[in-house]
Amino acid sequence: MSNQILVFLIDTLLGLLSLALLLRFYFQLLRVPYYNSVSQFLIAVTDFMVRPARRFIPGWGGMDMSTLVLAWLLESIILTSVYVMQGYDFDANIIFSLGVMGLLGMVSIVKTTLYIILVMIIMQAVLSWVNPNSPLAPLLDSFTRPFLMIFRKRIAPIANVDLSPLFVLIVIQVLLMIVASFHMEISALLH
> What percent of the chain has a predicted confidence (pLDDT) above 70?
99
Q: Is this model's pTM higher than 0.85 or not?
A: yes
Domain housing 36: 2-188
| Dihedral over Cα of 169, 174, 178, 181: its sign | positive
- The number of domains in the chain is 1
- pLDDT at position 1 is 64
pLDDT at 39 over 70: yes
One-letter amino acid at 191 equals H
Q: Render pLDDT for 151-178 as a digit per residue (tens, 0 to 9).
A: 989 888 888 888 899 999 999 999 999 9
Q: How sure is the predictor about 25, in pLDDT bands with cuts at 50, 70 and 90?
A: very high
Q: Render pLDDT for 119-143 as a digit per residue (tens, 0 to 9).
A: 999 999 899 889 888 888 888 999 9
